[in-house]
């Protein structure tokens, strides 16, 4: 395992982190089931323990993961008697209501209540990182910062930030010194230089998600498309995407390495990538991810080739429609 300093937090975190949406059990939101394969509680706990054995020390959760916070409950159970070995991140502002509805609310007066709920479910006295899961209005930012600073002084959180791909929003928060850590999307297909510039300028902790673009860049479906059931929330868009189109990336993979290792290596090459949050369901996928550390940083020619491919693909309207549809369907994922 490789370890990196998470920006201005000065904490040394594993370059691979555990994302827990996929470990959190089924959830219905607004009458729609997510449809993903269900991973039982004990299996999720065993996976988290196995990840610790690989050297992973950062885990990311959220109050909306799993029905009524089940995801945080599973993380809390997994970290009993080993909390001091882990950095724990959770998110607020996006939750499941009492009638199964999606509730989007990160107003300052809700932050403390959300945190207390997360601490109880996670069976811990504090969080290392506490992130907005929905964008705060500009008029709330200063008051939100005051609440988060108070919670920090009380020892209930160590650092705070946001999960966002909006570079303008991130800069607004950074200028107010109201963000210390950011969870954002980056991959061979997704690249936001402006956001990355904000991360670097303000020495923010950079947590990256979406490296495999919901499986499009994993390599699994380049030559055989995944069959998705009608109950799966992805079915409406998955049928319309030509997964074989992304097989073009295979021409860039160094001999002896997998597509997943290459996709990870690309993202790890950036100074703004301090840790990559993976949403894997098996320990073998995490083991395969570690192969990325066997790859040296990609050379300038390869990075240029990736940029050219991205520009070509982004010109295709279907790809943009599919990815936008995906982000709307999966707002509870590692945003």
334 belongs to a structural domain: no
Q: What CATH number should be reported for the domain holding residue 243?
A: 3.20.20.100
Threshold 0.85, pTM exceeds? yes
308 belongs to a structural domain: yes
Burial 161-177 (b: 16+ CB within 10 A, else e): bbbbbebebbbbbbeee
Separation between Cα atoms, residue 180 and residue 186, nearest integer Å: 18
335 belongs to a structural domain: no
Number of domains observed in the structure of the chain: 1
pLDDT at 229: 62
Nearest to 189 by CA among 328, 315, 333: 315
Nearest to 140 by CA among 97, 105, 164, 184: 105
Which residues of the chain carry a pLDDT beneath 70? 32-37, 225-240, 316-335
pLDDT at 5: 98
Domain containing residue 85:
3-329
pLDDT at 169: 98
């Amino acid at each position: 395992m490789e370890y990196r300093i998470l920006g201005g937090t000065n904490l040394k975190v594993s370059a691979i982190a555990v994302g827990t949406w996929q470990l959190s059990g089924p959830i219905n939101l607004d009458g729609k089931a997510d449809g993903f394969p269900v991973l039982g509680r004990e299996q999720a706990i065993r996976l988290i323990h196995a990840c610790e054995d690989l050297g992973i020390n950062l885990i990311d959760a959220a109050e909306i993961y799993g029905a009524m916070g089940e995801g945080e409950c599973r993380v809390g159970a997994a970290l009993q008697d080993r909390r001091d070995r882990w950095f724990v991140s959770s998110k607020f502002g996006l939750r499941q209501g009492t009638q199964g509805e999606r509730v989007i609310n990160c107003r300052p007066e809700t932050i403390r209540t959300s945190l207390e709920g997360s601490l109880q479910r996670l069976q811990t006295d504090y969080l290392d990182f506490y992130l907005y899961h929905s964008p705060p209005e500009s008029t709330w930012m200063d008051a939100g910062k005051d609440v988060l600073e108070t919670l920090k002084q009380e020892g209930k959180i160590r650092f705070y930030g946001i999960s966002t791909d909006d570079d303008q929003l991130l800069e607004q928060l950074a200028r107010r010194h109201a963000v210390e850590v950011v969870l954002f999307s980056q991959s061979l297909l997704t690249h936001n230089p402006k956001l990355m510039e904000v991360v670097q300028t303000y020495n923010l902790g950079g947590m990256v998600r979406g490296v495999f673009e919901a499986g499009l860049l994993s390599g699994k479906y380049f030559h055989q498309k995944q069959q998705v059931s009608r109950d799966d929330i992805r079915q409406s868009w998955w049928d319309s995407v030509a997964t074989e189109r992304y097989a073009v990336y295979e021409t860039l993979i160094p001999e002896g390495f997998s597509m997943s290792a290459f996709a990870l290596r690309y993202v790890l090459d950036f100074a703004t990538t301090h840790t990559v949050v993976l949403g894997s369901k098996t320990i073998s996928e995490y083991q395969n991810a570690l192969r990325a550390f066997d790859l040296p940083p990609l050379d300038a020619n390869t990075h240029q080739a990736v940029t050219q491919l991205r520009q070509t693909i982004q010109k295709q309207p279907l790809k943009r429609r599919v990815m936008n549809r995906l982000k709307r369907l999966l707002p509870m994922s590692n945003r």
